[in-house]
Amino acid sequence: MSGMGGAGGGGAGSVGTGAPGQGSNQGSGSRSSGNNGGPNAGGSTSSSSSLDRAASQIEYMPNVLGCACHSVRPAGPPPPPNNAAVKPAGPKWKPGVVPGHVTWVPGIIPSSPVQVDGGNAPGGQQGDKDAGKTPWVPGKIPTGPGNHGPQNSKGPAYNPDADTHAEMGKIAAEANQALKDLYAKYPKFDADGKRVVPDPDDKERIARYENLTNSLKSPDKANQLAAAIAANKNDPLYNYLGGLRFASFLNQSKSNTDKSGAPDVGMTDIERIALYGYTTGDYTAINGALRKEKGNPSDPGLAAYAKYATDAMEKLPDYQAPAGKENKLYRAIFTEPYPGWGAATFVQGQKYSDYAFASTATEGVPGTWQLTIDGTKNAKDVGPYSAWPGEKEVLTMPGTEYFIQNVDRNKVTLVPL
């Protein structure tokens, strides 16, 4: 994942090359001369009579503000809807709604999620052959008259939410800055030209941020992220994570499951984010809050984190051991919360439960207390959805209750109930 350009081929800045906010085709290259970007500034030298004629030819699109095409906004008031002599060919134009073909006003974000393909007039309007060459970059306001006109006419739909645009731009800038900081921290390369990053958590961050900056160059992926942000930006988990972690967790989770071919089990975006995020260093805060507050964290962000991760796990099937192996899991406890905790907790014939999530292994692991779990109820293989997809991570759900079947010094056998 080398080329870390910002969204839209430089739109969000790039690591070591472009500056934030510099789009590839913005500013001066308007097709019209003398166009100052005003709402009536056309991309041609048509006379008022030709504009009047255009008013009766164009299929006006109600509730559409601009397709970034050549300007053909009618010079006069709209024709009466029932005037057969000048009746538009398409949906009737509504007073107060700007037709689809209008030059963008610099600094104004489009107000409709609809973007017209190639022009409304019969046969297209002013240069369909160039359509799609300059896709819209989320978070970027059109900066020049017409935003280079027909080149953008078949780009992805504009998101009408100005706050989401601003948040996407902020996320792109933060990702680039985080990469710059991490690259400065690890400047050495090995003989194969790969950056030497001994800290596995930082290695995961670099891969995640590089993947995000690359995804922001793709209009489809960028729009998917923008939609997820718009839908969840008021959720406590979004507030807890912040935009960069939210977007990078979601983007990386989807990349991992696409590569692994994991089945679609119906997880929502925010459930994916929570499950992925748990497998990063965030598990410490989540489990600490669950255990300290007996399964009900008072912090809204951590409560949402635990809930969404649990909801995600409920959609996964219980883990099943490979053919020929026992359906058993293993867990080691290395440090007791206080002296004598294990002896007081693991009493043969009693029940045991943990308010938190618990990682298990498919092979025995030595520790202060060695737990063998005879059965896999409420245990889920979260590997494809985790920050470490190459590892076989089987996670048990919080609140799972066990029967303590046997205790032999520090070796305990548990049966899930």
Give the confidence band of 391 by pLDDT, cuts at 50, 70, 90: confident
Q: What is the mean pLDDT of residues 382-409?
A: 94
The answer to whether 163 and 47 are in contact (CB under 8 A) is: no
How far separated are the first and last CA of the chain, in Å rounded? 45
Give the confidence band of 393 by pLDDT, cuts at 50, 70, 90: confident
Rounded Cα gap, residues 53 and 57, in angstroms:
7
Domains and CATH numbers, the chain: 25-160 (no CATH), 162-314 (no CATH), 328-416 (3.90.176.10)
- Predicted pLDDT of residue 275: 98
47 contact partners, CB below 8 Å, separation of at least 6: none
Alpha carbon 390 to chain centroid distance? 22
129 contact partners, CB below 8 Å, separation of at least 6: none
- Predicted pLDDT of residue 165: 83
- Predicted pLDDT of residue 184: 97
Res. 107: pLDDT tops 60:
no
Helices (H), 278-416: 283-292, 300-314, 341-345
Res. 5: pLDDT tops 90:
no
Which residues make beta-bridge pairs with 370?
332, 411
Give the confidence band of 225 by pLDDT, cuts at 50, 70, 90: very high
The answer to whether 358 and 399 are in contact (CB under 8 A) is: no
261 contact partners, CB below 8 Å, separation of at least 6: none
The answer to whether 33 and 243 are in contact (CB under 8 A) is: no
Rounded Cα gap, residues 247 and 45, in angstroms:
44
The Cβ of residue 183 has, within 10 Å, a number of other Cβ atoms equal to: 15
The answer to whether 373 and 382 are in contact (CB under 8 A) is: no
Rounded Cα gap, residues 350 and 48, in angstroms:
89
Give the confidence band of 392 by pLDDT, cuts at 50, 70, 90: confident
Which of 240 and 135 is assigned the larger pLDDT?
240
Helices (H), 7-140: 7-10, 48-55
- Predicted pLDDT of residue 148: 34
Give the confidence band of 367 by pLDDT, cuts at 50, 70, 90: very high
Q: What is the mean pLDDT of residues 282-296?
A: 97
- DSSP states of 183-220 as a string? HHH---B-TTS-B----HHHHHHHHHHHHHHHHTTSHH
Range 291-313 burial, b when 16+ CB lie within 10 A, else e: eeeebebeeebbbbbbbbbbebb
pLDDT in tens, 125-152: 232 333 333 444 444 444 433 333 333 3
Res. 118: pLDDT tops 80:
no
Q: What is the mean pLDDT of residues 59-82?
A: 38
The answer to whether 241 and 277 are in contact (CB under 8 A) is: yes
Rounded Cα gap, residues 233 and 164, in angstroms:
8
312 contact partners, CB below 8 Å, separation of at least 6: 267, 271, 272, 274, 275, 385
369-374/379-381 β-pairing: unpaired
- Predicted pLDDT of residue 11: 35
Q: How does the average pLDDT of the chain come out, rounded? A: 73
pLDDT in tens, 157-204: 444 467 888 899 999 999 999 999 999 999 999 999 999 999 999 999
- Predicted pLDDT of residue 172: 95
Number of residues that this document lists for the chain: 417
Range 227-236 burial, b when 16+ CB lie within 10 A, else e: bbbbebeebb
Rounded Cα gap, residues 144 and 150, in angstroms:
13
Tokens encoding 393: 């991570």
- Predicted pLDDT of residue 312: 98
Q: What is the mean pLDDT of residues 214-225?
A: 92
